[in-house]
Amino acid sequence: MIARELIEDYGMKQELVAERLGVTQAAVSKYRHQVRGEAVDLEGAAEVRQISRDIASTLVRDPNPLDVSRKFCQASLYTTSSMGELFSRMAGIRETLSV
């Protein structure tokens, strides 16, 4: 999502996106064309889209690596807590169904 946003919304070249993300240009191409990195569809979640936009807007500038790391950590924490809530709800549903 972030690679595509940087290319499509900010007009960055794949080479620069790769440099900012710390991956190869080939990886960026695969992300952009959804050949890689789409095992879980997160684009439907408004919160995830906002986090992706926030990270992309940070990467457009010449960011401090610490700022970028913080943004990715925030995204990871959000995703982890959201998945925990989802699994709790699923366990509750499973318990209800087995009664």
Residue-range domain boundaries for the chain: 2-97
> So what's the pLDDT on residue 34?
72
Is the model more confident about 35 or about 84?
A: 35
Is the model more confident about 93 or about 16?
A: 16
Q: Indicate yes or no: pTM above 0.75.
A: no
Cβ burial, residue 92 (10 Å; 0-12/13-18/19+): exposed
58-73 pLDDT, tens digit per residue, is 888 877 888 888 888 8
> So what's the pLDDT on residue 12?
93
